[in-house]
Amino acid sequence: MIKPFIASDLREVSPLVLAYIGDAVYEVYARCHASIYGAGNNNKLHKRTIRYVSAESQAEISRQLMDELTETETDYFRRGKNSNPHASSKNASHADYMYATGFEALIGYLFMDNQESRMEYLIQRSFEIADGIKPINVNGFEDSTGDE
């Protein structure tokens, strides 16, 4: 895979840049994973993807993954969580948004550091965790339709 050169030392890269990259990488994996459950119905695919990519879900995923992270991974997560983004989520609390930013910064770091097997392990674990979380609809409320 072609990866742009950003810096020789990823500690010099803004955690918001890592989160920006991590968001895109994670979204692609989430869309591919969601497609396993039903190709052809875009609404169902979108709902399934939201289960993985919403700030609320990523915050819960992060909290459950913390014990599995290495010291370096925890540092990159913390840098992202403690960053000062200029945006916020309209469907999530500020705390959840910051945890989600930390998770995305971690994914961005692993991607840019060519730690693909570790990144894919954590992404797979995130799907396992998210699949155990009660489904939410695109408005942030529980999906009571059973239509995932």
Query: What's the pLDDT tens digit per position in 68-87?
Result: 999 999 999 999 999 987 67
Q: Which of 9, 23, 75, 147 is catalytic?
A: 23
Total domain count for the chain?
1
Residue 4 lies in a domain: no
Residue 60 lies in a domain: yes
Token readout for 65 is 């993954």
Q: Which domain covers residue 108, as residue numbers?
A: 12-131
Residue 61 lies in a domain: yes
CB 95 within 8 A of CB 59: yes
Residue 16 lies in a domain: yes
Containing 42, the helix (H) or strand (E) segment is: helix 42-53
Q: Is 23 a catalytic residue?
A: yes
Query: Taking the model in full, what pTM does it have?
Result: 0.83
Residue 96 lies in a domain: yes
Residue 2 lies in a domain: no
Q: State the angle between helix axes of 42-53 and 116-131 in degrees (0 to 180), rounded to the nearest 10.
A: 110
- Which CATH number does the domain housing residue 98 bear? 1.10.1520.10
Question: In angstroms, rounded to a whole number, what is the distance separating the alpha carbons of residues 49 and 124?
Answer: 14
Residue 147 is predicted with a pLDDT of: 44
Residue 54 is predicted with a pLDDT of: 93
Q: Which residues contact 30 (CB under 8 A, 6 or more apart)?
A: 49, 52, 53, 127
Residue 116 lies in a domain: yes
Residue 136 lies in a domain: no
pLDDT above 70: percentage of residues in the chain: 80
Residue 44's Cβ-count burial label (10 Å; 0-12, 13-18, 19+) is middle
